[in-house]
């Protein structure tokens, strides 16, 4: 699994964990989620992620709210890379995008 690469890379000789300049913490170093060759949500303004099964199909989706009030959803890309996601698409009902008013 690709995640293990990132986890192992941060172990120091003392057993402490380096977090890219942070002090030791209870988390491994952050790793960025991807979509294709790009970062997931790279074009989303103030992305706010939730991981849940939003459509009831038994698989968790990545649901991302944004500053303008849109909600987008991405499916797992599949395969062994748990960081890889499909393309974010607007959450729609009967063709209508879910959009919360903002200013």
Partner 1 sequence: MGSQFVDFDGDGLLDVLTATYEGAVYVARGLEASAETKERGGFADPEHVLDRDGQRIGLQMMWSLEGKGWTDVFKPQCTTAVAFDWDADGDLDLLLGCYNTDNVFLRRNEGKAGAPVFGTENEPVLAGGEPFALAGGVTALRLVDWDADGVTDIVCGSFGAKDRSVLGGVYLFRNEGEAGSPRFAAAKALIAPITDPDGTAPSRGLYADPVDYDQDGDLDLLVGGYAETKSETTDGYKGQAGIWLYLRK
Q: List residues binding partner 1 (CB under 8 A).
A: 3, 7, 17, 19-23, 25-28, 30-33, 39-52, 54-57, 62-67, 69, 71, 82-83, 91-94, 96, 98-103
- DSSP label of 58: S
In the structure encoding, which two tokens stand for residue 72, read together? 């987008």
Total residue length of the chain: 103
Considering Cα of 64, then 65, then 68, then 70, what sign does the dihedral take? Answer: positive
CB of 42 to partner 1, least distance (A): 6
Choose between 77 and 98: whose C-beta lies nearer to partner 1: 98
CB of 55 to partner 1, least distance (A): 5
């Amino acid at each position: 699994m690709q995640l293990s690469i990132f986890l192992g890379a941060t172990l120091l000789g003392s057993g402490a964990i380096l977090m890219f300049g942070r002090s030791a913490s209870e988390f491994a170093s952050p790793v960025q989620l991807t979509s294709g060759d790009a970062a997931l949500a790279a074009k989303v303004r103030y992305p706010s992620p939730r991981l849940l099964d939003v459509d009831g199909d038994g698989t968790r989706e990545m649901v991302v709210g944004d500053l303008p009030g849109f909600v987008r959803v991405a499916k797992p890309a599949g395969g062994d890379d748990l960081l890889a996601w499909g393309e974010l698409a607007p959450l729609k009902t009967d063709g209508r995008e879910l959009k919360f008013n903002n200013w």
